[in-house]
A and B are shown apart, each in its own frame.
Chain A
Amino acid sequence: MIEVRGLSKSFGTMKALDDVSFRINRGEILGFLGPNGAGKSTTMKIITTFLAPDSGAVTVDGIDVLERPLEVRRRIGYLPENVPLYLDMNIHEYLTFVGRARGLEGARLRERLDWCVEACGLRTEYRKNIGELSKGYKQRTGLAQALIHDPDILILDEPTSGLDPLQILGIRDLIKSLAGHKTIIFSTHILQEVSPVTDRVVIINEGSIIADGTVADLSRGAMGTNRVFIGARAEAGAVEAALRSLPVVTELKPLRATEGCRFEARGPFSDDLVGSIERLARERGWQLTELHEAPYSLEDTFIALTRRARGLKEVA
């Protein structure tokens, strides 16, 4: 369990973090999302004890990062944004070094090396100098390094940055395979990265947390209204008029349709939009070709949230 309370951190006059708080429970995966320069890395560096905050506190399994940093470090596997690799070593030497530095030896070390090499797909390049590896293998070696001591907690700073789509898929699967066993925070500035791996997101922008919850909760809060697509084989004017007459529909937009008609209807999340429209269609005898909620993408949510955060800042 990680608890971040009221973190602030400045670099010179630059305020990188401003009262950042969130928590993550044991076994949870958290997507830490925000544009470049938002403060993701700084937050992670504080959690991993690399940096100290100006104010605020972080506890990892109840242990304060400033009071007992070594105990915190023992529990955490950390992949920094700049993957920390010794280019003059091969993968075996490097992972052995990190394993030893983390107190592993003998049979236990060999067992963990085996596991990491298998899990991260490093077998074929195992004896190659790290300096000669492709970007994808370097990233995976960095990930293996974070896993070597089988930590309960993983802090991964942009683990998929700079990788091609296939490599991204590989890393994603690896993170997913660890779900449930480990507490994981991974950061990204790419929205699409989050939903395939986890539901839970914390969004940071310009040093402040602007959202914390599940993707669905966030879009609810950010967008205000639910969105439903309707397609029907019926006369467009009549359908439109009927839909507008529904009290739960607050907005209606006609869409282009290949046959019949299509609409996008919006209404409050609290109301059963789909149910009301279904009943209406049955009463009127329309043949529905389409009726479903369209969840907002993380993109839409993100844009709405950052806009709102900016608006709030300007007001303040």
Chain B
Amino acid sequence: MTKIQLTVDGAKVSDDVEPRMLLVQYLREKLGKTGTVIGCDTSNCGACTVHLDGRSVKSCNVLAVQADGSEVTTIEGLAEGSVLHPVQEAFRECHALQCGFCTPGMIMQSVDLLKDNPDPSEEEIRVGIEGNLCRCTGYHNIVRAVQTAAAGKVSGDAEAGSPAATAETEKVEV
């Protein structure tokens, strides 16, 4: 067992862990943060993406002991109380998900992308999320959500019908 101390979603935690424990296992099994999901066995899918000291990483490809002394943010640490993070809100408004399994990782990667490049082109968004796979949406609404968040056009009120949400409804009706 190895002792680790880190900050997860703003809270200090300290634990004895087996060195072989993956960060994603630690988050899910020890801390109960099941918002971060496991989608593959090969570190290809990106569903497990979290931020480690401010940068996105695949938490299935990091040992918990490697995160000792670090700050981890998961999808559960993005919202401020009941107020969603603008990228979460944009995913909701643009209907950027179907089954939702890729969503935690997609959102964490999109937040990282926008931090680096607050005004990405469509191409830059597609390249920026290339390490995150979605089996459902075909990516279009995900890209639209990132564009919406980047443009600061998140209304925070999906029912009122934001431009993005309206556009999507029209598309579905056609």
A binds B: no
B interface vs A, CB < 8 Å? none
